[in-house]
A and B are shown apart, each in its own frame.
Chain A
Amino acid sequence: MSTMSETHTKMARFETAGAIDCDVHPPTPRRADLLPYLDDYWQEIVTSREVDVLELMGYPERTRPYMRPDWTWSGDPLAQMQENLLDPLGLEGAILNVVSGAHALFDPYLAAAICRATNDWLADKWLSRDSRLRASMLVPFQNVEAAVEEIERRADDKRFVQVLTLAMTELPLGRRTYWPIYEAAEKYGLPIGIHAGSNFRHAPSHSGFHSFLIEDHVVQPQGFSTQVASLISEGVFVKYPKLKAVMIESGVTWMPALMWRMSKDWRGTRIEVPWVKDAPADIIRRHIRMTSQPFDGPDDVEDVAKTLDHLLSDDMLLFSSDYPHWHFEGLDVLPEGLPEAKVNKILRDNVLATYPRFGG
C-alpha cells in the first residue's frame, strides 16, 4: 500500500482531453535496447568499448527526487506511460524526447550510429505501439552531413515531428556550420527542439563549473537565451523563414527579459547584423516556442497572467508535462494561474501550428 500524497488526489485544473504533450521522456535506451538497430561493426564497437549507459550528467534519469510515488515504475515503460500519463489526462498525442549521451559523443561516426539506432528503437518500440505517440529525431550535430542524411532518411515517417538538440552545445546553434540541418528541417516541416541540458563541451556557466544541482537549474535559461540570440543574430530565420525552434523545459518566464534586452540593444548594434530587419522580440514571437513545464512563475498566482502578457503573444506556449519529472501533483499538469482563455491554445492549437507533421 502506498502512502497517500497530494499526487493521488489533486484534480486537473483544466480539462486536458485532446491535448498534445510536447515533452515526454521515455527511459534512455541502453546498449541492449540499441544493439538490434546497429550494424555488425557498431555492435562490436559498442560491446568492446563498453558503450552502454548513455546518460547525460545533466539528466540523471534515475535520480530519486524526480520519481513520483503514485506512478507505476515497474514493467513495460510504455505501459507505465499510458497508465500514468496518456490515459488519465486523455491526451491525443505526446512527443517523445530522448535526451541522451548521443548528443555528447565525441566520435562523430559513433554519434551518427547511436542517433540512427535510437530513432529506429523509438519507431519500433514506441511509435508503432501507440498511435498517440510522436518523437523528436536525434541527429548528430557533431557530424552535420550525417545529420542531414538522418533527416532525409526519416522524412517520410511523419511520426518524427522535430529535430532535437540541447540548450548548451559545442557551438552556438546559429552558426553556419549547422545550416544544412536547418535547411533540411525547414524542408520537411521539422522544428528544432532545444531541450534543457548540456553536452559539456564547455562549462555550463559562463564562469566555469558550478558546485550544486540548483546552480545547474539556474544556468539553463542562460543557455537558452544564448541559443535564441545566436539563431536570430546569425540570420537563421532570415535564411529559413519557415523554421521554428521550440525551447523545451526552459522555464518560460525568462523570455520577456530576453525580448526586452535584445530588442533594445539591437537598435544600437543593428549595423553588425543588418539582416536582422525586425526587432528581435518580433522575430521571437514568430519563430520561438516554449513548452509549459517546468514553469517559473511569480509567487502570487494572480501575477502569472501578467507575466505571460509580457510576451505579447498567445502563440508561444505549448503544453508539456515533462513526464516523468515531478513538476505537478495528481493530474494538475498545467501551471497554476494560466488564464483560462489561453489554455485551449496552449493545450492544442499552438502545438498543431508549430508541428505541421502532426496531422500526418
Chain B
Amino acid sequence: MSTIENPTREKRPAARHVVARADEIVPGASRLVHVEGRDIAIFNVAGEFMAIANRCPHEGADLCKGKLVSLFESDEPGVVRLSRHGELVRCPWHGWEFDLRSGKSWCDPARTKVKSYDVAVEHGARLIEGTYRAEVFKISVDDDYLVLEL
C-alpha cells in the first residue's frame, strides 16, 4: 500500500488571543470566553490566571460556573490536609473536581480530563489582536490584558 502524499500542512503556530482585561476577572472569579469556536473558562486564582475547556467531560455542565476549591487530601479519617488553595474547580452539577493546571479530574485522572490552556498576562503594547475584540473595550496601551494561546 502506498502512502498517500499529504500536502504539507503547516502546523499553525499557537495564536495568541486577547480574551479579557486582567482586572475584569477578580481573584476567585471566572469568565467564559469564546475562542475559535471553543468555550473556555478562565479563572483568577489569587492573581494567577488559569483556563480550561468550559464543558465538563462528564455531562457537559459549564465549569465556569463551578466553585473553586482547594485540594483536600487525607491519610487519616477526620484529618484533612489543604493545599493548592483554590486551584481546582468543582463542577456545578455533580461536584467532580478538576485541576485547573492540568485539567485532570481529581477522582479519576486516568479517565477524565478537561483540556487546559495556557493563559498569560501581557502588556497591551505586545498584543496581537485575536478573537477578543479589544477595541470594544477601549484598550489602552498601559492596561494589562489577558492573552489566551490557542
Contact = CB atoms under 8 A, between A and B. Distances in A.
A279 B109 CA distance: 12
Contact of A271 (B69, B75, B78): B69
Nearest to A266: B107
B76 interface: yes
Nearest to B81: A274
Interface string A247-291: 000000000000000000011111100110101000000000000
The binding surface of chain B is classed by DSSP as: strand
Interface bin, chain B: 20 to 34
Contact of A234 (B74, B77, B107): B77
Interface in B47-82: 69, 72-80
Interface in A221-268: 234-236, 238-239, 266-268
A270 B90 CA distance: 11
Nearest to A267: B107
Interface of B: 69, 72-80, 90-91, 94-97, 105-108
A41 B24 CA distance: 79
B95 A238 contact: no
Chain A CB within 10 A, most for which of B77, B90, B94:
B77
B72 A267 contact: no
B108 A239 contact: no
Contact of A268 (B72, B77, B78, B94): B94
Given A270-B106, A271-B72, A238 B77 contact: yes
15 contacts: A234-B77, A238-B74, A238-B76, A239-B76, A267-B107, A268-B96, A269-B95, A270-B106, A271-B69, A271-B90, A271-B97, A274-B80, A275-B76, A275-B79, A277-B73
Contacts of B75: 238, 275
Given A266-B107, A279-B108, A271 B77 contact: no
A75 to B, nearest CB: 51
Given A267-B105, A270-B107, A274-B72, A239 B94 contact: no
Contacts of A271: 69, 72, 90, 95, 97
Interface in A149-194: 176
B130 to A, nearest CB: 35
A277 B77 CA distance: 11
Contacts of A266: 107
Contacts of A279: 107-108
Interface residues of A, number: 16
B77 A270 contact: no
A271 B91 CA distance: 13
B95 A268 contact: yes
A90 B95 CA distance: 53
Nearest to B108: A267
Contacts of B94: 267-268
Interface in A191-241: 234-236, 238-239
Contacts of B107: 266-267, 270, 279
A279 B72 CA distance: 16
B77 A235 contact: yes
Contacts of A270: 72, 97, 106-107
Nearest to A234: B77
Given A267-B96, A271-B72, A275-B79, 9 more contacts: A235-B78, A239-B76, A267-B108, A268-B94, A270-B72, A274-B80, A275-B80, A277-B74, A279-B107
Chain A CB within 10 A, most for which of B74, B80, B107:
B107
Contacts of A236: 77
A176 B79 CA distance: 14
